[in-house]
Structure 1
Amino acid sequence: MMPRLMKRLFPLVLLAYAASSQAGLFDDTEARKMIADLKAQIEQLRQDNHAMRDRLNQLETRVDNLKVSNLVSQLDAQVDNLNKLNGQLEVLQYNIEQTQKRQKDLYIDLDSRLRALEPNSGADAGTGSGGEKPLVTVAKAEGDQAAYDAAFNLYKMGNYQGAVSGFREYLKAYPESKLAPNAQYWIGMSQSALRDYKGAIVSQQKLIAAWADASKVPDAMFNIAANQLELGEKKAARKTLDDLVAKYPVSTAADKAKRLLANSR
């Protein structure tokens, strides 16, 4: 930029020098006029130079802003894709859990049928061999926690019908126990595993009505929504999930509900 300016100014400077050194050839008025014209041209060239620099700076700024804008757009797109993938992963995990439950149910059903074909197989799954009393009844003698653990062990072993009976016995024996809400929750979960989706919903609703402040309430609501989905009641399930997120936004169940809702939109 500067070499071009010097080339343009050089003849003018020579002319000004000649005019000032040979003032005798011109009168004062003409010399002053030439000098004033030269100064005006020099100032105009300076202004043009500043204007060109300003335009160059503006262009560089626009280019930089465009690059940043493109990077931000790409980042936003990647974040959106990541959120979608997380939602899809949550649904896949849920489907896998449901499939595993069904497989376990089929195994239990097959095992029960095989046992029915065996001689002397009439003992109930929730009892000991030889017609002993139910595990929960035996555990009552040892106290609240032992009775709860006995019923919960039935659930962990996959004996969901036995777990339902055990937890119901527990609630009759210890209705005021601090574990009572949990017992009611596991009744609903056992019924869900047995594909008694309507019964599971009723059981979880009973938990919410009787123990509104219990820590298991958010999980019970999520289980209700899961059972509603199994029944094909998508609208009701969405409402249950929305209510769960609104009432218990910081719960683990709400996090699962949010991902399930986001993926279903």
Structure 2
Amino acid sequence: MKARTLFALALLPLAGACVATKQDVQELRLDMAQQRAHQDSLFRALVGRTEAMLDSLSDQNVRLRGDVANRLLAIERQLVQIQELSGANQAQLSDLRRQIDQRAAEERRRQQEAADAAAAGQDGGGGSAADAGDPDELYEAAQAALRRGSVGTARAGFEEFIRANPQHRLAPEAQYNIGQSYEQGRDTGNAITAYGRVVELYPTSGRAPAALLRMGRLELGRGNRTEARARLNQIVQRYPRAPEAGEARTELQRLGTR
């Protein structure tokens, strides 16, 4: 009996060691989870900072002529690279931040030089479509910014596109997307104005009835039923074969008038 008691007492330290080991493992897992959450937080902050920097640079300088499209695309590719770094460690994040800051400084320097040259008349009063880079690249860069939610960057890009290429096949799309950028930013008044410019500048384009439909729904959303009816009736009368005409008729029925 005494021998059994002594044996049981001898096993107690071993059992305690096992419990301590499991607890250590659990604490290690918690610590690793906290570190990963911290890294994810840093990563999200870096992405947000980069997008804010992109908005600021493009909003202030997008009207400068030169390689605007190429610059927007270069920064866009940088953002894609950041989004792919889901497992980046602190050293990688710091190095990436340094590269972005360096690129931002170079971008500001280039655009300042372009502004100085324009002020001095060294560009010969240009502003032609050839000076603005490839139109399709500029449009795609602005479209990517709109999809990303950078509405200020997108709007500035589309406005520059129309300024340099007013008769381009994508000009109606660009003007419509300006309305979209205002709508995404919850600026209903400017959104309606921008959509109205689609109908004014490109009345024969496929985007004209779509713009009128957006105008009607926005007017309805802010309680202007009379204006909403007017826009919807414009679609039915001027674009009876457009896909939007069917939607306009449905909306008019709901409003109690044709």
TM-score by length of 1: 0.49
Q: Which amino acid aligns with 1:144?
A: P
Structure 2, unmatched stretches of 5+, are 1-43, 59-71, 76-99, 109-130
Q: Which amino acid aligns with 2:54?
A: D
Partner of 1:86: none
CA gap of 1:224–1:251, structure 2 versus 1, over 3 A, is same
Asked if structure 2 preserves the Cα contact closer than 8 Å seen for 1:189 and 1:223, the reply is no
Partner of 2:168: 177
- Alignment partner of 1:203 out of 180, 194, 204: 194
Q: Superposed, which structure 2 residues align to 1:71-110 within 5 Å? A: none
Cα distance in structure 2, aligned partners of 1:149 and 1:133? 20
Partner of 2:250: 259
**Residue 119 of structure 1: CA displacement?**
7.6
Structure 1, unmatched stretches of 5+, are 1-113, 135-139
Partner of 1:189: 180
2:54 is aligned with 1:124: yes
2:206 is aligned with 1:215: yes
Q: Rg bigger for which structure?
A: 1
Cα distance in structure 1, aligned partners of 2:173 and 2:155? 12
Q: Determine which structure has greater relative contact order: mean sequence separation of CA pairs < 8 Å that are 6+ residues apart, divided by chain length.
A: 2
Asked if structure 2 preserves the Cα contact closer than 8 Å seen for 1:115 and 1:121, the reply is no
Cα distance in structure 1, aligned partners of 2:51 and 2:143? 23
- Alignment partner of 2:218 out of 213, 216, 227: 227
TM-score by length of 2: 0.51
Q: Deviations over 1:25-77 (max 9, x none)?
A: xxxxxxxxxxxxxxxxxxxxxxxxxxxxxxxxxxxxxxxxxxxxxxxxxxxxx
Asked if structure 2 preserves the Cα contact closer than 8 Å seen for 1:197 and 1:230, the reply is no
- Alignment partner of 1:158 out of 149, 166, 170: 149
Coordinate RMSD, CA, aligned: 3.1
Q: Deviations over 1:84-121 (max 9, x none)?
A: xxxxxxxxxxxxxxxxxxxxxxxxxxxxxx859x8888
Partner of 1:239: 230
Q: Deviations over 1:130-187 (max 9, x none)?
A: 32659xxxxx876111111111111122222221111011112222212111111110
Cα distance in structure 1, aligned partners of 2:204 and 2:235? 14
CA gap of 1:254–1:124, structure 2 versus 1, over 3 A, is same
SS in 1 for 2:53: coil
Cα distance in structure 2, aligned partners of 1:181 and 1:196? 20
Cα distance in structure 1, aligned partners of 2:183 and 2:141? 20
Q: Which amino acid aligns with 2:234?
A: D
Q: Which amino acid aligns with 2:190?
A: G
**Residue 264 of structure 1: CA displacement?**
3.0
Asked if structure 2 preserves the Cα contact closer than 8 Å seen for 1:181 and 1:211, the reply is yes
Cα distance in structure 2, aligned partners of 1:198 and 1:229? 12
CA gap of 1:154–1:241, structure 2 versus 1, over 3 A, is same
CA gap of 1:184–1:122, structure 2 versus 1, over 3 A, is closer
CA gap of 1:147–1:119, structure 2 versus 1, over 3 A, is closer
| Identity %, equivalent residues | 26
Cα distance in structure 2, aligned partners of 1:154 and 1:120? 12
Cα distance in structure 2, aligned partners of 1:220 and 1:228? 12
Cα distance in structure 1, aligned partners of 2:155 and 2:226? 29
